[in-house]
């Protein structure tokens, strides 16, 4: 349902752009445009519409949790329009289109098309997701995880879920109808989905009653699966050897993993070229603002628990002989770490400090995407404190990763448990679509200078 809602928004955006093209041509010639004129513009502008969708995605406008009718949201649509015009100028004038130079149409389309997108988003957020596409949900069981999800859905109605009832002992909530197993059919609103808490999954009487809902075309989903859908991370309450045996289908990922080797190689070559271009400037900035090496290497744990050396531009003061910033043993970096240099802050915010890791990708020690590699000292501690932590070493670590996109720093046990949930989510669900999402979100972080 989440993907359906995203596709609905995408379809509306594209429709707005195509209608905007028609309006732009009409305004340009002050008459109904001829079919041959529209036909000549469709092909080049379709490519530009594809780039518009990418820009909108990078700016987070397809994230349902952030889709609100607020000024900040529509401000991003304006930003998208400006960036799109810049790409359009490059496409038509720098790249070159001999027969087509629609500078006026391009500007008019930016106004009409993105105004229609803004109008469509307002209508969608205000009416469609609140009525037509709203999914009604009933919860069976009221564990702390179920309560967390319920509160999230109530605080973020833009996601498109309405909780219509709870079965089981739960906190009092005037907005919800509390039921018992016997009056499951007594809900005021028929649910589209029933979320089954793990505590009730072995209740034979309940299962018999739920079986009847198959004929009512009501979906039944386990709490763990719904948790994963809402938060895009694995729920820690499910972690067990049996659960991972059935959920982690590594055999089915072999073709994808082999294909990713080619992507990694091509990406590493491109990143390496970029490294050569920026190296003189970055090296000069580092050397003239702090003492120590330009590059430094550090031991990290990779696939299968094997240790390798990762390469980075130095972003901290060199306080020890090997160029590291540690004098009293390994320690996590903090969000406002005083050891970070002024140049280092820029390199971290722009993620340029990670560029030398193309060497690790070429050596097949890392991938473009995967869990970020951790230091052996921290891995040893976390393995003792967190069961199943070693599962994040099922695949090669990555230059960028799903957990890294959620927050910058993970410096406590609870934060690293949260990080593990995201890392295992990626390992379980990795594939082309998720990888494209990660790459686009990484571009957003780089352009926004919000790296850690």
pLDDT on residue 18: 95
Burial class, 139, CB count within 10 angstroms (exposed 0-12 / middle 13-18 / buried 19+): buried
Distance, in Å, from the CA atom of 311 to the CA atom of 332, rounded to the nearest integer, reads 17
Tokens of 304: 């299968």
Helices in 162-253 by DSSP H: which ranges? Answer: 204-211, 223-231, 241-247
- How far from each other are the two terminal CA atoms of the chain, in whole angstroms? 32
pLDDT on residue 5: 85
Residue 15 is given by DSSP the state H
Sequence-distant (≥ 6) Cβ neighbours of residue 366 within 8 angstroms: 302, 310, 357, 360, 373, 396, 397, 398, 399
Sequence-distant (≥ 6) Cβ neighbours of residue 379 within 8 angstroms: 301, 305, 389
Instruction: Give residue limits of the domains in the chain.
Output: 2-132, 135-231, 251-448
DSSP letters for 371-439:
SPPB-HHHHHHHHHHSTTGGGGGSS--EEE-HHHHH-S---SHHHHHHHHHHHHHHHHH-SHHHHHHHH
pLDDT on residue 104: 85
3-state secondary structure of 203: coil
pLDDT on residue 408: 64
The architecture in CATH of the region 135-231 reads 3-Layer(aba) Sandwich (3.40)
Per-residue pLDDT of the chain (452 residues; tens, 9 = 90+): 777 888 899 999 999 999 999 999 999 888 888 888 888 888 889 999 999 999 999 888 888 877 788 888 899 999 999 999 999 988 887 665 555 567 888 999 999 999 999 999 999 988 887 777 788 888 888 888 888 899 899 888 888 888 888 876 665 555 555 555 555 555 566 788 889 887 776 777 777 777 776 666 778 888 999 999 899 999 888 888 888 888 888 888 888 888 999 999 999 999 999 999 999 999 999 999 888 889 988 899 999 999 999 999 998 887 666 556 665 656 666 666 778 888 988 998 889 999 999 999 999 999 999 999 998 988 988 898 888 999 999 999 999 999 988 876 676 667 877 899 999 999 999 999 899 999 998 988 887 766 66
Burial class, 347, CB count within 10 angstroms (exposed 0-12 / middle 13-18 / buried 19+): buried
Residue with tokens 């080619």: 262
């Amino acid at each position: 349902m989440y993907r359906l809602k995203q596709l609905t928004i995408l379809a509306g955006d594209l429709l707005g752009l195509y209608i905007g093209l028609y309006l732009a041509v009409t305004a340009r010639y002050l008459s109904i445009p001829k079919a041959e004129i529209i036909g000549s513009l469709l092909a080049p502008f379709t490519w530009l519409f594809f780039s518009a969708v990418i820009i909108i995605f990078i700016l987070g406008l397809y994230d349902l949790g952030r889709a609100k009718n607020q000024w900040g949201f529509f401000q991003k649509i304006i930003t998208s329009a400006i960036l799109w015009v810049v790409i359009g100028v490059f496409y038509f004038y720098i790249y070159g289109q001999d027969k087509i130079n629609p500078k006026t149409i391009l500007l008019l389309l930016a106004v009409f098309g993105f105004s229609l997108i803004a109008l469509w988003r307002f209508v969608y957020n205000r009416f469609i997701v609140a009525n037509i596409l709203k999914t009604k949900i009933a919860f069976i069981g009221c564990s702390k995880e179920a309560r967390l999800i319920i509160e999230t859905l109530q605080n973020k109605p833009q996601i498109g879920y309405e909780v219509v009832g709870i079965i089981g002992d739960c906190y009092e909530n005037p907005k919800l109808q509390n039921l018992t197993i016997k009056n499951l059919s007594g809900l005021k609103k028929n649910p589209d989905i029933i979320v089954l808490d793990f505590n009730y999954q072995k209740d034979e009487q309940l299962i018999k009653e739920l079986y009847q809902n198959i004929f009512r075309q009501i979906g039944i989903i386990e709490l763990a699966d719904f948790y994963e859908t809402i938060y895009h991370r694995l729920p820690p309450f499910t972690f067990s050897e049996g659960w991972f045996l059935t959920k982690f289908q590594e055999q089915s990922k072999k073709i994808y993993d082999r294909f990713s080797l080619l992507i990694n190689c091509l990406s590493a070559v491109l990143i390496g070229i970029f490294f050569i271009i920026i190296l003189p400037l970055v090296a000069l900035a580092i050397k003239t603002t702090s003492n120590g090496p330009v590059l430094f290497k550090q031991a990290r744990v990779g696939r299968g628990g094997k240790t390798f050396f990762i390469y980075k531009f130095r972003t901290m003061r060199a306080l020890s002989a090997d160029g590291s910033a540690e004098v009293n043993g390994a320690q996590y970096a903090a969000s406002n770490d005083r050891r970070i240099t002024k140049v280092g802050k820029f390199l971290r915010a722009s993620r340029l400090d990670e560029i030398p890791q193309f060497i690790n990708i070429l050596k097949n020690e890392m991938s473009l995407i995967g869990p970020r590699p951790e230091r052996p000292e921290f891995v040893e501690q976390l393995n003792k404190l967190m069961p199943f932590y070693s599962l994040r070493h099922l695949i090669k670590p990555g230059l960028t990763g799903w957990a890294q996109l959620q927050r910058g720093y993970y410096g406590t046990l609870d934060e690293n448990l949260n990080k593990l949930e995201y890392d295992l989510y990626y390992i379980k669900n990795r594939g082309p679509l998720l990888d494209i999402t990660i790459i686009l979100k990484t571009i957003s972080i780089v352009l926004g200078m919000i790296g850690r």
